[in-house]
Amino acid sequence: GPTVGVLALQGDFREHARVLAGLGARIVLVRRPEDVEGIDGLVIPGGESTVMDKLSRSFGVADPLRRRIAEGLPVYGTCAGLIMLADTLLDGIPGQQNLGGLDVVVRRNAFGSQNQSFETDLDIPVLGEPPVRAVFIRGPVVESVGERAAPLAALEDGRVVAVEQGNLVGTSFHPEILGDHRFHAYFLGKVREAVAAAA
């Protein structure tokens, strides 16, 4: 299978690595610049984007990742990972930086505090039936979707919680938690296509 990096500086990277390995990917835990070179795709886990940002800069992986994203690397960001991928961030902390790539405006902590976490069923047309049971844990919301990006799912009130743009995918929620691996499989399809196109 393809080699998929999981950004492993902070957050629930182990869960993603387990899911992706179960789907046949070879996993590289990405912590240093040299880890970025051989990967065919990358997952950025949930966690705390402010910490992930600081660590990714001090470990020297932020710039290599920006370069690979600009070259078309498939990347899937969940929750804090979606924040990292957004071109524009609202309610970040002073000095917080993003990797960027996704033409969206994302607001951090849009659903309130940890104890306002919730689950809901989401219709996600690209994944078909049944709906995806989505867990939101202090997640971000996509406040606006730019011209280059497209929504994949919204809550009943219309707030967008999943987006894609070419090889980039982002979700406000955590599909790695509940055992529904269709989002990861969908992303791995993009990784396999990118590998085939480069061969």
Convert 124-158 to b/e letters by CB count within 10 Å (16 or more is b): beebeeeebebbbbbbbbbeebbeebbebbbbeee
Binding residues for L-glutamine: 47-49, 108, 137-138
- Given 80, 122, 132, 141, the residue binding ligand GLN (CB under 6 A): 80
Cβ(46)–Cβ(79) below 8 Å: yes
Residue count, binding to ligand GLN (CB under 6 A): 12
Q: Would you call 156 a catalytic residue per the annotation?
A: no
Reference 23, options 190, 162, 169; nearest CA is 190
Nearest distance in Å: CB 65, ligand GLN: 17
Residue span 7-46 as binding mask against ligand GLN, x where in contact by CB under 6 A, dash where not: ---------------------------------------x
Binding mask 142-181 toward ligand GLN (x if CB under 6 A, else -) reads ----------------------------------------
Contacts of 24 (CB under 8 A, 6+ apart): 1, 188
User: Are the CB atoms for 64 and 75 separated by under 8 Å?
Assistant: no
CB 143 within 8 A of CB 107: yes
Tell me the closest approach of the beta carbon of residue 16 to ligand GLN, in angstroms: 12
Q: How far is the CB of 63 from ligand GLN (least distance, A)?
A: 20
| 3 state SS of 26 | strand
Choices 19-27, 63-71, 131-139, 162-170 (CB under 6 A): range interacting with ligand GLN: 131-139
Q: Which residues are annotated as a binding site?
A: 47-49, 108, 137-138
CA pair distance 143, 153, nearest whole angstrom: 13
Active site residue 79: yes
CA 23, 86, 190: angle at the middle one, nearest 5?
30
Shortest distance in whole angstroms from residue 38 CB to ligand GLN: 26
SS3 163: strand
Respond yes or no: is residue 193 known to be catalytic. no
Q: For residues 80 and 86, which CB has a smaller minimum distance to ligand GLN in the complex?
A: 80
Chain positions contacting ligand GLN, by CB under 6 A: 46-49, 79-80, 83, 108-109, 137-139
